[in-house]
Amino acid sequence: MLYMLDLFGTGVFAITGALAAGRKNLDLFGVFVLATVTAIGGGTLRDMALGASPVFWITDSGYLLVAGGGAILTVLWARFTAWSPRALPVADAVGLATFTVIGAGKALELGAAPEIAVLMGVMTGVAGGMIRDVLCGEVPLVLRKEIYATASIFGGTVFVLAMRFLPYDALSTWLGVAAALALRLAAIHWNLSLPVFTHIDLRSGPDGGR
Amino acid sequence: MLYMLDLFGTGVFAITGALAAGRKNLDLFGVFVLATVTAIGGGTLRDMALGASPVFWITDSGYLLVAGGGAILTVLWARFTAWSPRALPVADAVGLATFTVIGAGKALELGAAPEIAVLMGVMTGVAGGMIRDVLCGEVPLVLRKEIYATASIFGGTVFVLAMRFLPYDALSTWLGVAAALALRLAAIHWNLSLPVFTHIDLRSGPDGGR
Amino acid sequence: MLYMLDLFGTGVFAITGALAAGRKNLDLFGVFVLATVTAIGGGTLRDMALGASPVFWITDSGYLLVAGGGAILTVLWARFTAWSPRALPVADAVGLATFTVIGAGKALELGAAPEIAVLMGVMTGVAGGMIRDVLCGEVPLVLRKEIYATASIFGGTVFVLAMRFLPYDALSTWLGVAAALALRLAAIHWNLSLPVFTHIDLRSGPDGGR
């Protein structure tokens, strides 16, 4: 069940990557790269940091297949309509919640401390989208606004605490997914954002702020 | 012989990195970083993903020496002429073909599935140039146009299939190199490109296309 | 003592990351990401390249705590004044010198060749700031001007040579730190820069300079 959700999230993230490629007029190879990087980039960085080698999609080609399928589906869909599916943000929230808990769980399995596990959950959830935005020449959206990473941090924290204090791992997993999903859907519905930090450095000479 | 071609490709890729640094008015350290990153970036990512640690240039300093040599050569060359060598795209195609087959071969050796091996070949061939472009603040050229990555995919596929069905590894290697090289040279000669995917998302609100 | 300097450098680098986030109007999550990436990004890449897994901050949460502390401190400081601390470039130089020697030392310990150790020192010192700048959508400052990376290369070289020819490792460590620090402070004081490489490629067609 969690594996199915994982593949579902992979496909949804791939679609958002392919849509970003469409906005930037990339060619078909670019569509595949952005779809793939968005879908598996976060988990790849997580595995590299944890030293879990080889990274997860090397031994299970299913992830790449699903990501490629998402890219093809997006290009075909765009032939018929300029409207992205209305359910996309909701599907994306499901992917974010799933990736978070899977990432945090993998870190715990490998013996990481609880706070590191939460961090690995967030990295799994948001780093792929950050690489997508950097490849598009943009400052990553997740750094600028919205309760997106915050939902991931919240879900990861709930999951890690539950793993510590609850007797059933499956229950902890679903609690974590539910927590991240609930906060993200609330943020979409009420359009919630984090406060922005604006700072103009008056001493910004040649070395200022290095 | 393949090792010589590998070093040749490293030097050529370093030259394209140094030229990019010159277009962006970087300083000498910037020239070395862009040259090195372009030359060894793809293979580095490949080794990190495959869990082949340490990465290849740690144990064989020859790669870094050649990359540094390419950078110095470029700066000296640019003192005399504003024309980049006419043979550069052809030399670059040789580098691309070599890197592809070496990358795919390393993946096969480490037990990766055929489709992963093809992907690793492409990554070895194009990821260094992608990092170079990102460091220059540009959307990677390889995502936007031209038959470049496609030549790498083609050569890698020919190589992996040949490794499976032909009795001689050396033959498979040269078939793969020849296939990638032929397609890339044809693309240069006839100026071939992949179709572009343009998509304007009409539902691009705060969450649209995330 | 070196560990204390290491944490000090981590905090200072985190502050420069948080200030960059403020210039770009990122939200609080963005502040934390930029602070963390600047502080631990270079060492993370070094560990990934060397195959030292898991990376250093997985097993010692102190680094992340200090980086997070630096981010919070910066946001609080900015509530009271638009002036970044006058001592920041000097503190940053201390961080650069420390990171360099620690990075080079870790590479030597893992059996890397001297020239690779120098490279790993530079990577530890400057790669975090490069990732910070890329996430901000800018060409990394360190590639463009100033004696910054050069100070790191100088300190790393002094350290590696001293490790080879001097009997006391502690002496070599402090010689390396002092060398990098001295050159960097001199560069700040006299505003020294590396020469810039400008090259306009007259043959910049579709394949030019690839």
Segments making up each domain of chain A, as ranges = 2-190
Is the C-alpha dihedral spanning B30, B136, B65, B94 positive or negative? negative
| CA distance to partner chain C, nearest, from residue B141 (Å) | 8
- Choose the closest CB to A54 out of B49, B150, B210: B49
Measured between beta carbons, the chain C residues lying within 8 angstroms of A201 are 19, 22-23, 82-84
Identity of residue B115: E
- Choose the closest CB to B54 out of C51, C119, C207: C51
The pLDDT, as a whole number, for residue C15 is 94
Nearest-angstrom CA–CA distance, A118 and A158? 9
The residue among B2, B23, B10, B4 whose CA lies nearest residue B125 is B10
Measured between beta carbons, the chain A residues lying within 8 angstroms of C31 are 197
Nearest-angstrom CA–CA distance, B199 and A78? 7
Mutation pick from A50, A143, A154 vs chain C, by most beta carbons of C within 10 Å, is: A143
* Residues forming beta bridges with residue C196, ordered by sequence position: B27
Mean pLDDT for all residues in chain B: 89
Neighbours of chain B (3+ CB pairs under 8 A): A, C
Mean pLDDT for B64-81 is: 91
- Choose the closest CB to B61 out of C116, C199, C206: C116
CA angle A145, A147, A150 (to 5 degrees): 115
Output B91 or A209, whichever has higher pLDDT.
B91
With a cut of 80, say whether residue B203 has pLDDT above it.
no
DSSP code of residue B141 = G
Residue of B nearest to A135 (CA): B139
Mean pLDDT for A128-155 is: 92
Nearest-angstrom CA–CA distance, B70 and B64? 10
| CA distance to partner chain C, nearest, from residue A80 (Å) | 32
Measured between beta carbons, the chain B residues lying within 8 angstroms of C53 are 53
Nearest-angstrom CA–CA distance, A128 and A136? 13
Contact yes or no for A89 and B119 at CB 8 A: no
Contact yes or no for B30 and C199 at CB 8 A: no
- Give the CA dihedral A12, A16, A17, A23, nearest 10 degrees: 160
pLDDT (tens digit per residue) in A16-75: 999 999 899 899 999 999 999 999 999 999 999 999 989 999 999 999 999 999 999 999
The residue among C185, C94, C197, C95 whose CA lies nearest residue C147 is C185
Per-residue confidence at C146, pLDDT binned at 50, 70, 90? Answer: confident
Contact yes or no for A200 and C82 at CB 8 A: yes
The pLDDT, as a whole number, for residue C88 is 86
Measured between beta carbons, the chain C residues lying within 8 angstroms of A112 are 54, 58
Asked if residues C97 and C186 have their Cβ atoms less than 8 Å apart, the reply is: no
pLDDT (tens digit per residue) in B40-55: 999 999 999 999 989 9
Say how many CA atoms lie within 13 Å of A162 toward its Cβ: 21
Residue of A nearest to C80 (CA): A199
- Choose the closest CB to A16 out of B139, B143, B209: B209
User: In chain A, where does DSSP find H-type helix?
Assistant: 2-23, 28-50, 56-59, 62-80, 88-109, 114-135, 149-165, 169-190
| CA distance to partner chain C, nearest, from residue A127 (Å) | 10
With a cut of 80, say whether residue B165 has pLDDT above it.
yes
Measured between beta carbons, the chain C residues lying within 8 angstroms of B34 are 143
Contact yes or no for C144 and B86 at CB 8 A: no
Mutation pick from A33, A46, A83, A139 vs chain B, by most beta carbons of B within 10 Å, is: A33
Residue of A nearest to C51 (CA): A51
Residues 6+ apart with CB under 8 A from B158: B175, B176, B179, B180
User: With a threshold of 0.95, does the pTM exceed it?
Assistant: no
Mean pLDDT for all residues in chain C: 89
Per-residue confidence at B201, pLDDT binned at 50, 70, 90? Answer: low
| CA distance to partner chain C, nearest, from residue B116 (Å) | 21
How many residue pairs from chains B and C have C-beta atoms closer than 8 A?
126
Can you read off the two tokens belonging to residue C53?
Answer: 């897994």
Measured between beta carbons, the chain A residues lying within 8 angstroms of B208 are 84, 88-89
Asked if residues B99 and B124 have their Cβ atoms less than 8 Å apart, the reply is: yes
With a cut of 60, say whether residue B209 has pLDDT above it.
no
Q: Range with the lowest mean pLDDT among B27-41, B90-104, B194-208, C19-33?
A: B194-208
- Choose the closest CB to C145 out of B27, B33, B92: B27
Query: How long, in residues, is chain B?
Result: 210
Q: Range with the lowest mean pLDDT among A65-79, A100-114, B76-90, B142-156?
A: B76-90
Mean pLDDT for B84-90 is: 80
Per-residue confidence at C49, pLDDT binned at 50, 70, 90? Answer: very high
Contact yes or no for C25 and A198 at CB 8 A: yes
Contact yes or no for A26 and B143 at CB 8 A: yes
Output B194 or A104, whichever has higher pLDDT.
A104
The pLDDT, as a whole number, for residue A201 is 63
Is the C-alpha dihedral spanning A57, A58, A62, A64 positive or negative? positive
DSSP code of residue A113 = -
The pLDDT, as a whole number, for residue A202 is 58
